[in-house]
Amino acid sequence: MNLKTINNVFFIGIGGIGMSALARYFKFIGKHVAGYDKTETPLTRELSELDIDVHYTDSVEAIEERYRDAARTLVVYTPAVPKEHSQYQYFLNRDFEVKKRSEVLGLITKDSYCFAVAGTHGKTTTTSILAHLLKEVGAPFTAFLGGISEDFNTNFVFEGTEFSVVEADEFDRSFLRLFPDVACVTSMDADHLDIYGDVSELRKSFGEFVGRIQPEGKLFVRNGLPLDGLTYGIDDGSDYCIENLKVEGGAYLFDIRTPNEIIAGVKFNKPGRHNLLNALVAFGMATYSGYPTRLLADALATFKGVQRRFSYQVKRDGFVFIDDYAHHPTEIDAVYSAVSEMHPNKKALVVFQPHLFSRTRDFVDDFAKSLAQFDSVVLLDIYPAREMPIEGVTSDWLMEKIDNPNKKKVEKNKLIQEIKEQNPDVLITMGAGDIGLLVGQLKNEFEYAN
């Protein structure tokens, strides 16, 4: 398929973080862009401000005439859209090019030098750091991010076409559509078992992804994972290794040992050892762009972060509010570790919105154990996303399993009052659902001391 012959691009599920980045890309290169999504969000409103037509009604009548020209229209859909979706069926049953988001991403990036970040955790932060490093050294690149970078204030960055930076998403085996030159695997924890069935199938899929790396390409692997590649880690003798680590003024200071050199006096400001590892592998990958390693290492100090990834919303005397996308037990553990390291001996309240009935069911005991570490736990109802309810799988069921006397299920409209009554030193909101839409309200409420 030749994207140059396409004039119009229609998205089914345009409001998704990955889909909206592609929509921005096609608008940027001069295509007509439109699409459907289930509900209006800040992301879809931003697309509308770019003169991208977004509608919220699943009907064939809502498709503009321009996008009914099969010869000149590309249709992009997300696997999260149900197969019975009427617009999806309309395009599928006619002579249209109908492709998954991952297929289109593969087509866009195949002629560039492609950096692909894979792993069940850390993809968005790592790709955002990598994009930041390339920007700071003046590299010509295009980046498709799975979150809103606080450095670029967007999920799509265009600085040229020589390099591309993408997330290699394991959901629905999407990453098997990419052709990376340099790739990394940050983690392979059990997840998306509604797709894979068990962790062995998930790991098999990662193996297939690694097999798609170009013959002269490179693979970075978190030390300890069962894959062959350049390893990275902290004080563990990895090929790319952080050494002499210390914390000063809320920032990490360290040296980086590579197979070729030691880069001393590196600084990174985002809390959490997991973020430090993300920074290390982003740096390692960026060295294959050919730019000076000292400049790339120095650029780590100016990385601002990603919205909803250990994002400080309020930081004042006696109170800190952190928002994070964590929706898997391993991610919750990482947030707890970061909070404990940066804010020791502070009373921490976590507000958690479980994401998906199936994920809650599959990892309920692990969720309970991870959440129990915090001083106090508040649960919201499960966010269903693409799923129908599963009998017996509820937040109340999860709460019963949390071994912590300070636990409570709360409705959204009573959340602020509950937080005020508990009066924590550190407030953390976590989840991949619509809890992120509450963050602005909570920030306004707690930004100043009462």
Domain-embedded: residue 25: yes
The answer to whether 429 touches 438, Cβ cutoff 8 Å, is yes
The residue from 302, 330, 353 where one domain ends is 302
105 within a domain of the structure (yes/no): no
294 and 351 together in one domain: no
Residue 246 assigned as binding residue: no
Residue 347 assigned ligand-binding role:
no
pLDDT score, position 81: 87
Nearest to 118 by CA among 276, 27, 237, 225: 225
Q: What pLDDT band is residue 94 in, cutting at 50, 70 and 90?
A: very high
Residue 194: what pLDDT?
A: 60
Instruction: Say yes or no: 141 and 220 in one domain.
Output: yes
Query: CATH number for the domain including 291?
Result: 3.40.1190.10
Q: Are residues 294 and 324 in the same domain?
A: no
241 plus 375 within the same structural domain: no
Contact 442, 414 (CB under 8 A): no
pLDDT of residue 193 exceeding 60, the answer is no
Answer yes or no: is 408 within a domain: yes
Q: List all residues 6 or more positions away from 215 whose beta carbon is below 8 Å from its beta carbon.
A: none
Residue 380 DSSP symbol: P
> Alpha carbon 350 to chain centroid distance?
20
Per-residue pLDDT band at 450 (split at 50, 70, 90): low
- What CATH number corresponds to the domain at position 363? 3.90.190.20
For residue 16, give its domain range.
Answer: 3-99
Statement to judge: residues 57 and 164 lie in one domain: no
- Same domain, yes or no, for 292 and 315? no
| Domain contains 379 | yes
To the question of whether residue 119 is assigned a binding role by annotation, the answer is yes
Percent with pLDDT over 90 in the chain:
82
pLDDT of residue 310: 87
258 and 366 share a domain?
no
pLDDT at residue 187 greater than cutoff 80? yes
Looking at the structure of the chain, the number of domains it has is 3
Here the contacts of 31-40 (C-beta below 8 Å, separation 24 or greater) are 31/6, 31/7, 32/7, 32/8, 32/66, 32/67, 33/8, 33/9, 34/8, 34/9, 34/10, 34/63, 34/64, 34/66, 34/67, 35/10, 35/11, 36/11, 36/12, 36/62, 36/87, 37/13, 38/13, 39/15
Confidence label for 448 from pLDDT (cuts 50, 70 and 90):
confident
Query: Within a domain: residue 104?
Result: no
Residues 126 and 153 in one domain: yes
Query: Is 264 contained in some domain?
Result: yes
Same domain? For 90 and 119 the reply is no
pLDDT digits (tens, 9 = 90+) for 261-293: 999 999 999 998 999 999 999 999 999 999 999
In tens, the pLDDT along 25-57 reads: 999 999 999 999 999 998 999 999 999 999 999
Span 336-345, pLDDT tens digits? 999 998 899 9
Predicted confidence (pLDDT) at residue 192 exceeds the cutoff of 90: no
Would you say 122 is a known binding-site residue?
yes
Query: What tokens were used for 82?
Result: 């149900």
Domain end among 99, 131, 148: 99
pLDDT given at position 144: 96
Which pLDDT does position 174 carry in this prediction?
80
Contact present, 373 and 406 (Cβ < 8 Å): no
Question: Is 212 in the same domain as 333?
Answer: no
Q: What is the pLDDT of residue 196?
A: 60
Bridge partners of residue 225, in order along the sequence = none
CATH of the domain at 70: 3.40.50.720
Give pTM, 2 decimals: 0.85
120 is in an annotated binding site: yes
Instruction: Quick: pLDDT tens for 367-394.
Output: 999 999 999 999 999 999 878 999 999 9
* pLDDT reading at 195 higher than 80: no
Res 121: pLDDT: 86
pLDDT at 189 over 80: no
Q: What is the pLDDT of residues 311-337, one digit of tens each?
A: 999 999 899 999 999 999 999 999 999
Among the three residues 260, 279, 302, which one is the final residue of a domain in this structure? 302
In terms of domains, do 218 and 135 share one?
A: yes
**pLDDT at res. 342:** 87
On whether both 298 and 315 belong to a single domain, the answer is no
